[in-house]
Structures are given as C-alpha cells and as structure tokens.
Chain A
C-alpha cells in the first residue's frame, strides 16, 4: 500500500509569510508525528497525535507553530510569520499505535528567505 506522503516537497517563502505543510499518513495508522530537521542536525520532535486523544504539543518551538489532525486522517502543520530559522526539512511519520514502528514520509523542505 501507499506510504506516508507529504506535500509540498519543497516550499520557498518570504520571511513573515504563513505556510501550511500537509501529511497523509498510512491508512489505518492511528498515531502521527511531526519532526523538524535542520541542516546537519538530528530530528527534533514537534507534535504527536494519537487517534482522538489530545495531542502532545510539547515539542512545538513557539506559538507560531500549530498543527491539526481530524481523526486518523490528514494532518497539517502551520507556521505563522515564518522566520529564517524555520528553514528546515519537516518530516511526518505515522504508526499503527504509539509504541509501534514509525514510518516516515519524504519530508517537506522549507526555505525562508
């Protein structure tokens, strides 16, 4: 079946603009994660969704970052008033349940000019 998909694959924006990144998890996967990977660095956890439970937002770096997910479907990560330090690859992963193997999408490369 299809894996995790993310769109767009690349996004270039100007400082101060809002951006929206999309993640389509594997069908049937109840858990969904967002991560950020800055150039040459490891992955930083941003947010976690599990079914209809309250999300774990403990990794969001500021109130400019927000994410939504309706049920077990698509998730969107929104970054408001983008800054140059937001430039990174944003990765999404899903899993069958919170303890299971995470399957990653190809990521969205965000460049803030």
Chain B
C-alpha cells in the first residue's frame, strides 16, 4: 500500500530565503508525482508534474526533483515571497490503477 509522507509539517521562513520541502513514498512503482499548493478556502493549484521517467521539472522559482529508487521528491522554492505562503501537497499516482495518494502537506509561512 502506497504511503506518502511530507516533512516538515510546517515551516516558517523569512522572505528571500531558499527552501526545500520533502516528500517520500513507500512504493517506487509510480506513474507520476505532482506538487500542488492549497490556499485556505480554495481548491488546489497544480505546480509541477513529474512523470516516472523524468528526474526533475522547473517552473519559475520552483524546481521539483524525483528519485524513484529512494522514494523521494523535493520541491525547491527559490527566493521565497510572502505570496508563497500556502500548504504544499505532494501526490503520487501508482502504476496499478488510477488512485492518487496525497501526503498530508507542508504548511509554509513566509514572513515579510
């Protein structure tokens, strides 16, 4: 059974700092991995999608890496801004079906 864990559960950093959010999964047989942000009272916004054959994806100040063999993904946020404050969720889809398993998220607060 796939389990997805995100560390840390919460993080508070000053504006401008570079930071790394971690996601680990127990079953390396994945189809893809996706990072989302969730703002209070709103739905999820997709940030980056990494297919199982890829090692990383980049979008603006965001970079996500994937290491299937070790069951890990990281989301790197460069030069953090107060607008980055949100909960970041990691989600894994396995190869055996369509179920997508989410981690509990990392709640990020960027102080101005």
Contact = CB atoms under 8 A, between A and B. Distances in A.
Interface residues of A, number: 26
A91 B43 CA distance: 7
A31 B99 CA distance: 12
Given A101-B34, A101-B49, A45 B43 contact: no
A105 B98 CA distance: 19
Interface in B89-108: 89, 91, 93, 97-105
B78 interface: no
B34 A102 contact: yes
Contacts of B97: 48, 56, 58
Interface of B: 4, 31-32, 34, 36, 42-46, 49, 51, 89, 91, 93, 97-105
Interface of A: 4, 31, 33, 35, 41-45, 48, 50, 56, 58-59, 91, 93, 98-107
Given A56-B98, A100-B49, A104-B43, 6 more contacts: A42-B89, A43-B89, A43-B102, A56-B99, A101-B46, A103-B46
14 contacts: A4-B43, A33-B98, A42-B4, A42-B103, A42-B105, A43-B89, A48-B97, A56-B98, A58-B99, A93-B44, A98-B98, A99-B31, A100-B49, A101-B49
